[in-house]
Structure 1
Amino acid sequence: WNYQLQTSRREHREGMVDESSLFAAYWYPRIAVFDDISGWDRIPHNIQTEFYGDFNDYDVTIRVPKGFAVWATGELANMEEVLSPLALERFLHSMESDTVVHIITPETLANGQALQDRQELAWHFTARNVTDFAFGISDHFLWDAASIAVGPTGRRVSVQAAYQPETRDFHEVAEIARACIGYFSIQMPAIPYPYPTMTIFNGYGQMEYPMMVNDMEMETMDDTKALTAHEIAHTYFPFLTGINETTDAWMDEGWATLLEFFACTELYTLEEPELAIYPGYYLHGYMGIKGAEVDVPMLTPSNQLLSPAYQLNSYGKPASAYLSLYYLLGREEFLKCVKEYVENWEGKHPQPYDFFFTISECSGEGLDWFWKRWFMEFHTMDLGLAGYRMADGALFVTVRNDGGMPL
């Protein structure tokens, strides 16, 4: 087997980043998923729809020339063999530090104190029970790291960022990511981050992998925060829960969009929140084409759709459905049911009806009407003003649901 590296820097998900940096994804043959619904997954991958992966343990050694660092899915198992004494000391400190530690800096790169002085460095990574493995390489990227305690045991997660020195925003990404993991673990969805590490790599993409994110620099810090939150949110959906992204993109991208929205409204202070990715891009885009021929039910298999129908059914529309469910159930009940859904299906492969049934059973509510209108029928988000009246010094407004969606 051999892997041909993408040399075009227009390829967003993997390939060359610059003359001496790359991000490697989809680089090895993966065994298709065999599930109890469809048997072997025979749907081919393409440039639009994403993936369906099974859970595996990875033990990977990546050999690179002198001076090159590697960041990857999982934990670095031989840090003392590849890091210089100074970098090793900083990395170990970062694993206990609530503040960002600069492990590789312009100074350590210039004076040769970043890595071991060997002609070849073998970087050894291990990862357990994940659906994929990706890695990035560079001889001039800077490296920041911190950690955060999650869960009742106080387990610490290593949060890292590897980036180009001249980037406009990545100097803050390690702290942004750290805060996001804490928020997701405690507030929404209030499920402890399940893995030991998370690394944000400064490539050309906007793409998630287990314990790895390949993100480009953004024009504004608002977008940087929103994008970082979105990609980290994929930890829960699809990775922890084994979602079939190929056919049911709304089951992962919709959740990532919702969690991004909550992070951007409850965790981060944005300069222009109305222009953030969910309200300013996905929701605004939906309102421009609602009710058009591309506005089809979300249970339509994702691999049968072309853009903009695919984008519509994967991101803004399901996020709106989940947000409506949140308001319907209330925060406490919503979090309880989402937690039960994740715990029931962690390491498995839930189908759409598994999600519907779990939430309905947990909440004790008859939600068939909600699922039917949001996911199975042709309805739109469209409210109208039916009338108003003044009484006792107050204004009473009657709102009419013209589109039929439960809002």
Structure 2
Amino acid sequence: MKRKLILSLLLAGMGITEMSQSYAQEVKENNQSVFGEFMDRRGTYSRTASGKPGVGYWQNEADYSIKATLDDEAHTLTGQITMTYTNNSPEALDFIWMQLEQNRFTEESRGTLTTPIQGNRYNGDTDGGFDITNLEAKVGSKGDVSNKHIINDTRMQVWFAEPIPAKGGEATVSMNFSFKVPVEGMDRMGRLDVEDGTIYAFAQWYPKAAVFDEIEGWNVEPYLGAGEFYLEYGDFEYEITVPYDHIVVGSGELLNPKEVLSKELLDRYEKAQESDETVYLVSPEEIGNTELTRPKQEGTVTWRFAIENSRDIAFASSKSFIWDAAKINLPSGKKILAQSVYPKESDGVEAWTRSTEYSKASIEHYSETWFEFPYATATNVAADIGGMEYPGLNFCSYNSKGRGLWGVTDHEFGHNWFPMIVGSNERRYAWMDEGFNTFINHYSTLAFNDGEYPSRLDQTRRSVNYFTSETREGIDTYPDVVNVSNLGMIAYNKPAIGLLMLREYILGPERFDNAFKSYIKTWAYKHPQPSDFFNHMENVGGENLSWFWQGWFYGNGNIDLAVNGVFPYAGNYVLSISNKGEIPMPVVYELTYDDNSTERFTLPVEIWQRGDTWNHLIKTDKKITGVVLDPDKILPDVNLGNDSWPQVIYDNN
């Protein structure tokens, strides 16, 4: 009798009382602040509450025609650009803003002046910058020409003699430009000397239009370092003139292979487009053998490229390249080209000899899983760059090998989906770029060659030390503001872990995949905001996830689910659990019975709307011998010591 009294008092203290062979839940507090809407996500004329572009959605367009010449003795690029700008906005524009990102490489640039004395990843040369001449701007084909412009750091304001009309008005801006190619290009571009020549990696190499949208108007954040890019979509045609012995690879389709390749090289190029196995175009032994590979033996050669519906272009040029390629098979039946260029210092089956194999596998996986790759080529370039992405072209470290080369190649190609296809604002929301990409990289790595290389994203509890550190920062911190040591977590890993939890724990693969694919398709070649992503995932996934977005993406709290105990009750059992963290979660738990069998169940996240403790009646005629929360350890729960009953001590590592 005494033991029953003690048990009754214990259950009552936990909110459990006997009432006609049932139980009641004591409501201790209301958690509406955790579950309520945390940001204004109401629909507007331009963006719907379901996370789609509205009937009034618009975005401007910038089309480019560019001609540039590389001087490999002076290490300069000189060019001429004509940009056709279409103003689809509902307001006339007196001026436009353009990005001059080469101006980052000067002593007085804001990026230089905000770089710590000890330096960081985004160090850059300071003896460069654009030289802009002969600027002409006019509206329509017969408008008056204006050359009025203001250059401030990495931005240029170009004024017109008359406003660009709203809703379809066109203007052209042309100018000459030149700059010295930096050696240290902020780990995004530059040049590298190798035994057989110099590798030139060109990015941020031409003046380009800034984005004008209905959220901010002109997006004119300067190019400082960590913050990447936000650009309008358009069509590009560009010509690159280089010494005759160089090979050039660039974003998009090579338009004139018959003019720049020898007959032998052209045959190999065409063979590669039909081969699932990697084909050498220029083998290691053929570097420098221009009689075999080039149709011309002196002077210069012009390589012409084009790409449609792109937000940027990049290219590389060198006489030191090994060049190989293979066919990519897309779900639609279309065949495109994977190719790699690298110096002999990067050669080898443990290194860049497998680059095209990696590239092909990466593009085929993402195309099949999420959205078909839209460009004519997927090119991997070995350079003195850790890893940087552009439409259809990557720069990856020439020193990368094995697992590291797979990882960087796959990551940079993944960026073709985020932010090249889905055009988010990298300069403000790095997590919509790096985080989403890191998430899809997890699954492509699991799929590659039956798991040849491991992925550790699902080992979420390896990051507990960061999540509990006093110096942690939120995902929503702007990349140019965040502590550089935290950037990898808040831009890459934490948002990727968030999507992993959403797919594997909260929504399940089917609902998540439907929503994520729909988001990509809906916002392809457009400019989504964070609220558009949240709204779209909720509407297609069929779940109000405000508690999750607020806690994980726009908060700095943690997850800590705990088992208080398991108690016999009226011939059954009561499982008592608590939410000791700041972020609620559904509760997946696994029961172990005395016959060693197990069963899994899920309690919805709504149990935490009523407070931070919940008692759940388990009806079973078996004897329960153990309970484990989150048995697959998907959640980055910061306290493993309270996740089980009887208590089991886990190693966070």
Query: TM-score normalized by structure 1?
Result: 0.90
Equivalent position of 1:123 in the other structure? 303
- 1:308: Cα distance to partner? 2.6
**Percent identical residues:** 31
Q: Report the equivalent of 1:94.
A: 272
Alignment match, 2:366:
184
Q: CA deviation at 1:194?
A: 1.9
- Asked if structure 2 preserves the Cα contact closer than 8 Å seen for 1:223 and 1:277, the reply is no
State how far apart, in whole Å, the 2-side matches of 1:386 and 1:268 are.
Answer: 44
State how far apart, in whole Å, the 2-side matches of 1:218 and 1:287 are.
31
For the Cα contact (< 8 Å) 1:103–1:143, is it kept in 2? yes
Q: Is the 8 A contact 2:242 2:302 kept in 1?
A: yes
After alignment, is 286-295 or 370-379 more displaced?
286-295
Match of 2:494 in 1: 317
Q: Which residue number in structure 2 is paired with residue 391 of structure 1?
A: 593
Aligned to 1:326: 503
Determine the structure 2 residue equivalent to 1:171: 353
- Give the SS at the match of 2:447: helix
State the match for 2:315 in structure 1. Answer: 135
Q: 1:219 Cα deviation (Å)?
A: 5.2
CA contact (8 A) 1:387 1:399 kept: no
Equivalent of residue 544 in structure 2, options 366, 377, 382:
366
Alignment partner, residue 375 of structure 1: 553
Q: Aligned partners of 1:48, 1:285: CA distance in 2, in Å?
A: 25
Distance 1:25 1:392, change over 3 A: same
Deviation of residue 85 (structure 1)?
Answer: 0.4
In structure 2, what is the equivalent of residue 302 of structure 1? 479
CA distance in 2, matches of 1:285, 1:131: 36
CA distance, structure 1, for counterparts of residue 312 and residue 453 of structure 2: 35
In structure 2, stretches of 5+ residues that fail to align are: 1-176, 567-590, 597-624, 644-653
Match of 1:3, as an amino acid? F
Larger radius of gyration: 2
Task: Determine the C-alpha separation between the residues in 1 that align with 2:312 and 2:384.
Answer: 19
Other-structure match for 1:55: 233
Displacement of 1:54 after TM fit?
1.2
The one-character-per-residue Cα deviations of 1:49-107 (angstroms, maximum 9, x if unpaired) are: 21111112111111111211101111100110000101111111212222211111134
Q: What is the distance in 2 between the residues matched to 1:272 and 1:126?
A: 35
Q: How far apart are the structure 2 equivalents of 1:165 and 1:284?
A: 40
Shift of 1:376: 2.0
Residue of structure 1 in register with 2:154 after alignment: none
What's the CA shift for 1:163?
0.7
How has the CA–CA distance of structure 1 residues 285 and 70 changed in structure 2, closer, same or farther, with 3 Å as cutoff?
farther
Cα distance between partner residues in 2 of 1:253 and 1:16 = 25
Counterpart selection for 1:199 from 373, 379, 385: 379
User: Which position in structure 1 is the counterpart of 2:444?
Assistant: 263
C-alpha spacing 1:157/1:329, structure 2 compared with 1 (3 Å)? farther
- SS of 1:315's equivalent in the other structure is helix
Q: Deviations over 1:101-124 (max 9, x none)?
A: 111113443542112224211000
Q: Secondary structure at the match of 2:328?
A: strand
Between Structure 1 and Structure 2, the one with more strand by share is 2
1:3 aligns with 2:205: no
Match of residue 433 from structure 2: 252
Could you say if the C-alpha distance between residues 125 and 220 of structure 1 is closer, same or farther in structure 2, counting changes exceeding 3 Å?
closer
Shift of 1:131: 1.1
1:286 CA displacement: 3.7
Q: Which position in structure 1 is the counterpart of 2:331?
A: 151
Quick check: 1:207–1:231 contact (8 Å CA) kept in 2?
yes
The letter of the residue matching 2:361 is A
Quickly say closer, same or farther: Cα 1:338–1:160, change in 2 above 3 A.
Answer: same
Displacement after TM superposition at 1:385 (Å): 6.5
Q: 1:266 to 1:109 in 2, by over 3 A?
A: closer
Q: CA deviation at 1:22?
A: 1.1
Is residue 103 from structure 1 mapped to residue 284 from structure 2 by the alignment? no
**In 1, are the aligned partners of 2:516 and 2:537 still within 8 Å (CA)?**
yes
**Kept in 2: contact 1:207–1:213 (CA 8 A):** yes
The whole-number CA distance in structure 1 between the counterparts of 2:236 and 2:453 is 41
What is the deviation of 1:380?
2.2
Distance in 2 of aligned mates of 1:295 and 1:202: 34
Give the superposed CA RMSD: 2.4
Letter in 1 for 2:192: V
Unaligned 5+ runs, structure 1: none
Q: 1:292 is matched by which residue type in structure 2?
A: S
